[in-house]
Chain A
Amino acid sequence: MDLHLEHLTLTYPDGESSLTAVDDVDLTVPAGSTTALLGPSGSGKSSLLAVAAGLTAPDHGVVRFGGEQVFTSATPAARATRERLNRIGMVFQSPQLLGSLTALEQLELHAHLRGRRPASVRSRALELLAAVGVADHRHKRPAQLSGGQRQRVAIARALVGRPEVLLVDEPTSALDHERGTQVVELITQLARELGAATLLVSHDASTLTTADRTVRMRDGRIEEPAGTVAA
């Protein structure tokens, strides 16, 4: 299912005035493809991602999955939470794994959040951990894993619920160039296999060689028209 961001605008209060973080953005990410969103700090990339994930309600505009309107300025927080759980996978800047859970449990948690038995996703979780190359570390907690291994577990966690949309925020910021490139390659490959529309925010273009499309943002606006292939 394609991800459509339509006329999205987001402002934050800034003292007595306001700051426009996202300024009338239109962007479409086709299902099964990865769109990289590049731009300097403060350009609005992460804010756009937050709106696409329903973490922040936009002032104006609509987020659609296929033809279905999912998030608007009026979407209640509880509904946004449900949509994230059922339809969106998220990978954060730092892996943000839960300290008391093993790698396998990080993935099984998704089933528990959906009211299912954790064991119901065990085989899928093991497959994904194998796909990201950390199956041997499935019983380790985050403190026992390296930074790269933690990020791989986070990617597997984002995909365990077979999301329609995958939103990735600066996944390579804590990794060296080689590992960063590998992580982006892994994300694009798994997103393709899964058919998920993937929006990947980064500030490092050199790691994005496998992304299907690159879009640049500056001052809250998309610099290049959506659909431009720049990779």
Chain B
Amino acid sequence: MFVALRDLKNARGRFVLMSVVIVLITFLVTFLASLTEGLARESTSAVTELPADRLVFSMPAPGDSPAFTASQVTAGVWEEWAQLPGVQTAEPLGVATTRAESAGTTASVTTLGVIPGSALAPQRVTPGTVLLSTGAAEDLRIGTGETVTLGGRELTVAAVADSDASFAHTPAVWTSLEDWQAIGARGADGDEPVATVVALTTSGASDADLAAADNENGTTTLTRADARSAVSSFAGENTSLTTMQAFLLVISALVVGAFFSVWTISRSGEIAVLKALGASTAYLLRDALGQAALLLVGGVALGTGLAAGGAALLPGTVPVALTAGTTLVPAAGLIVLGLLGAGVSVARITGIDPHAALAAR
């Protein structure tokens, strides 16, 4: 990079301008990725943190997509699944977003109904009590021993769990299935619905076995990760934010490509001279791509750092989640796509005729 490094130093203004553009795009992509992840967690963490590997949804009509808002499983379905070979545990789980009232305030929460003693709740829940997530405790400004009214039913706070689980942007609370049925108005006995889904822990059950059981019971079984798409707020948010990120990545590649295209054209005379002096095309491509890589890595690193720093300073109410997936992955994507854009642009080096150095044809 003998010439490239000196070009960077000599044409400082142009490269600083381009670096600023890369930094800003990186900042935006990283922030959006962190926001997407944060919002996804707010929408689905109560599902993704469940100690179960599959969820069984009822299908109200053939062809419908599984949805927590539409699913209702009966005691009969629950028992059928519990008896299936390869299913270690099958537990009903009620999911309902309700209004909660404490002495001081009201808030929306998602009530998760479980069998007393179920591992689906972070701590043991008994009838007449409620277990709060940290978010619910903060929103309702109450603690252990105080009372809260959920959907008209008064319950005592058994504990504040060490969990920030939430569902559809509302904090989670856990009650007994009996209390949940009263709150969620989902019937009680016989073939009446008892819960929203059945949470399975499987071992050795094949996909074919599960599909056969689904056919027999009129249900759809999803993995815990796939069940995120059954949360109504998740799919729309995630799709639109991910689309924005994808567009930004493509735009950044085009911007970098356009810059290096103009840069390569402006120095085509020098490239002809270098070729006439004996520089191979491979040397010149390495030099130009090295320059682009340096610019991209520097700009992306700075942009990622700024976004991470900025996100850390934001108040807790802004749902941004900084992880390797929301910082390093977009950064790598920006560098790879930027290099691709630069590569297409600097490829024109191969077509520059060294004869042009003589300016005499």
Once A47-B360, A47-B361, A56-B355 are accepted as A-B contacts, the answer to whether A100 and B11 lie under 8 Å apart by CB is yes
Residues from chain B with Cβ under 8 Å of A169 in the complex: 358, 360
**Main secondary structure on chain B at its contact with chain A?**
helix
B6 at interface, CB cutoff 8 A: yes
Interface pick from B44-52, B87-95, B273-281: B273-281
Q: Is the CB of A90 within 8 A of B6?
A: no
Instruction: Give the contacting residue for B3; candidates A46, A56, A82, A101; CB below 8 A.
Output: A101
- Among B270, B280, B355, B359, the residue within 8 A (CB) of A81 is B280
Interface size class of B (residues with CB under 8 A): 20 to 34
Does B79 reach chain A (CB closer than 8 Å)? no
Closest to B5 in A: A100
**Contact string against A for B residues 264-284, beta-carbon threshold 8 Å, 1 for contact and 0 otherwise:** 000001100111111111010
Contact A12 B278, CB 8 Å, known A50-B355, A98-B270, A101-B6? no
B101 to chain A, nearest CB (A): 71
Looking at A46, A49, A82, which has the most chain B CB atoms within 10 Å of its CB?
A: A46
Q: Is B283 a contact partner of A113 (Cβ separation < 8 A)?
A: yes
CA distance A49 to B274 in the complex (A): 17
Given contacts A50-B355, A55-B354, contact A109 B2 (CB under 8 A): yes
Please, how many residues of chain A have a CB less than 8 angstroms from a CB on the other chain? 35
Q: Contact between A100 and B2 (Cβ–Cβ < 8 Å)?
A: no
- Closest approach, in angstroms, between the C-beta of A175 and any C-beta of chain B? 17
Q: Mark A30-55, 1 if CB is under 8 A from B, else 0.
A: 00000000000000001101100101
B residues near A112, Cβ cutoff 8 Å:
2
With A100-B7, A118-B2 in contact, is A50–B358 under 8 Å at CB? Answer: yes
A99's partner among B10, B354, B359 (CB-CB below 8 A) is B10
Bound Cα distance A221, B11 (Å): 45
Chain B residues in 8 Å Cβ range of A113: 274, 277-279, 283
Q: Indicate if A110 sits at the interface (CB-CB under 8 A).
A: yes
With the chains together, A110 CA to B276 CA distance in Å? 12
Shortest distance from the beta carbon of B9 to any chain A beta carbon, whole Å: 7
Q: Chain A residues with Cβ under 8 A from B359's Cβ?
A: 92-94
Q: Are A93 and B358 in contact (CB under 8 A)?
A: yes
Q: Which residues of chain B are within 8 angstroms of A110 by Cβ–Cβ distance?
A: 277-278
Q: Which chain B residues border A164 with CB–CB below 8 Å?
A: none
12 inter-chain pairs at a CB distance below 8 angstroms, sorted by A residue, are: A12-B361, A46-B360, A81-B279, A85-B278, A90-B276, A92-B359, A96-B273, A100-B3, A100-B6, A100-B10, A110-B277, A169-B358
Interface residues of B (CB under 8 A from A): 2-3, 6-7, 9-11, 269-270, 273-281, 283, 354-355, 357-361
Q: Which 10 A-B pairs have the closest CB atoms?
A: A85-B278, A46-B360, A100-B10, A100-B6, A112-B2, A84-B278, A55-B355, A96-B273, A100-B7, A55-B354
Interface positions of A (Cβ within 8 A of B):
12, 46-47, 49-50, 53, 55-56, 78, 81-82, 84-86, 88, 90, 92-94, 96, 98-101, 105, 108-110, 112-114, 118, 141, 157, 169
